Amino acid sequence: MSEPLLQAVDLQCERDERILFRDLSFSILPGTVTRVEGPNGSGKTTLLRMLAGLNDAWSGSLLWCGKPRSAQREEFLRNTLYLGHRPGIKPLLTPMENLRALTAGRRPLPEPVLREALDGTGLTWFQDVPCRNLSAGQQRRVALARLLIADEPLWLLDEVFTAIDSGGVSAIEDLLQQRAAEGGAVVVTTHHDLNLPGMQRIVLGGGAANEC
Ligand SMILES: Nc1ncnc2c1ncn2[C@@H]1O[C@H](COP(=O)(O)OP(=O)(O)OP(=O)(O)O)[C@@H](O)[C@H]1O
C-alpha cells in the first residue's frame, strides 16, 4: 500500500467554546477522493482550512508524507492546491488576467495553456470580459480553470460545485476521478450528492467525527 500523502491524528477544533470535532484521524492516500460531509456549521470549511495550513486554531497532528507537516511547510504548500468556497477572483480583471494571477508564483504557464484551460471551462467567449460582468457560475468556472492545469498531487476543494450547472458538475466529477487515477488525492466538501466509486467519507457533526 502506498504511503499517505496526508495523515491526520487526533485532530480537535473548538470554536467559541464549542467542540466542532475531536479524535478525528484519517489518512489521505494517493489515488483517492475523500468527501468531507456534515450539516451547516459542522466544521467542513474549518477542517479544510486546517488541512491547507490556513488555520492554526486546532490540536492534534498532521503529517505530510509521513513527517510532521510543520517541519516541511514549503514542500507541503508547493504540492497542495486549495480552492476556497468563494471563487476568490478579482471582479475588475478578466478571466485570463485572473487565471494568470491565480497561477502566479507557480510554474509559469504560457498563454495558450491558460487559454485552453478557460476554453475547457466553457469560457471561450468571455475571456476578455471583466469578471464582475459574469454570472455566479461563470465566475466559479474561472477559479475552476485552475484544476485543468494543476499538477499539485493534493487538491483541497471547498464547495466547488456551488452555482455550477449539471454539465459542469459531471465535468468536475470526471476531473476529480482523473486526478485520483493519475495518483493524486482530492479532499472535497460539498452539499452536492457526490458519490464516486471508492470514495472515502469523513463525516462531521454533533462534536464527533467518523471516517467511513
Ligand atoms: N473565524 C471564526 N471564528 C469563530 N468561529 C468560526 C470562525 N469560522 C467559523 N466559525 C464557526 O465554526 C463553525 C463551523 O464553521 P464552518 O464554516 O467550518 O462550517 P461548515 O460545515 O463548512 O458549514 P457550511 O455547510 O454552512 O458551509 C460555525 O459555527 C462557525 O460559526
pLDDT tens sequence across 49-59: 999 999 989 99
ipTM here: 0.95
Q: Output the domain CATH number for residue 23.
A: 3.40.50.300
**Best residue among 13, 16, 85 to mutate for probing ligand 1, ranked by most atoms within 8 Å of CB:** 16
Rg value, the chain, Cα:
17
Task: Choose between 205 and 46: higher pLDDT.
Answer: 46
Residues with CB under 6 A from ligand 1: 15-16, 20, 38, 40-46
Mutate to test the pocket of ligand 1, among 19, 42, 190, 192 (most ligand atoms within 8 A of CB): 42
Is 210 inside a domain boundary? no
Per-residue pLDDT tens for 110-143? 899 999 999 999 998 888 899 999 999 999 999 9
Residue 96 falls inside a structural domain: yes
Domain that holds residue 130: 6-203
What residue owns the CA closest to ligand 1's atom 30?
Answer: 41
Q: What is the pLDDT of residue 37?
A: 94
Does residue 1 sit within a domain?
no
CA of 47 to the centre of ligand 1 (A): 9
Give the distance from CA 114 to its chain's centroid.
19
**In a domain? residue 117:** yes
**3 state SS of 160:** coil
Distance CA 126, CA 117 (A): 13
Question: How far apart (Å, rounded) are the C-alpha atoms in residues 19 and 207?
Answer: 5
What's the gap in Å between 44 CA and the centre of ligand 1? 8
Residue 48 CA, closest ligand 1 atom number: 18
Q: Report the residue among 14, 35, 44, 202 best suited for mutation to probe ligand 1: largest number of ligand atoms under 8 A from its CB.
A: 44
Share of the chain above pLDDT 90, in %: 77
- Residue 170: inside a domain: yes
Residue 212 lies in a domain: no
Closest CA to ligand 1's atom 1? 15
pLDDT at 190: 92
Q: For the chain, how many structural domains are there in total?
A: 1
> Where are the alpha helices (H) located in the chain, listed in sequence order?
44-52, 73-78, 95-103, 111-120, 136-144, 166-181
**Within a domain: residue 116?**
yes
**pLDDT, position 1:** 62
Q: What angle do CA 86, 26, 49 make, to 5 degrees?
A: 20
Long-range contacts of 67-71 (CB under 8 A, 24+ apart): 69/6
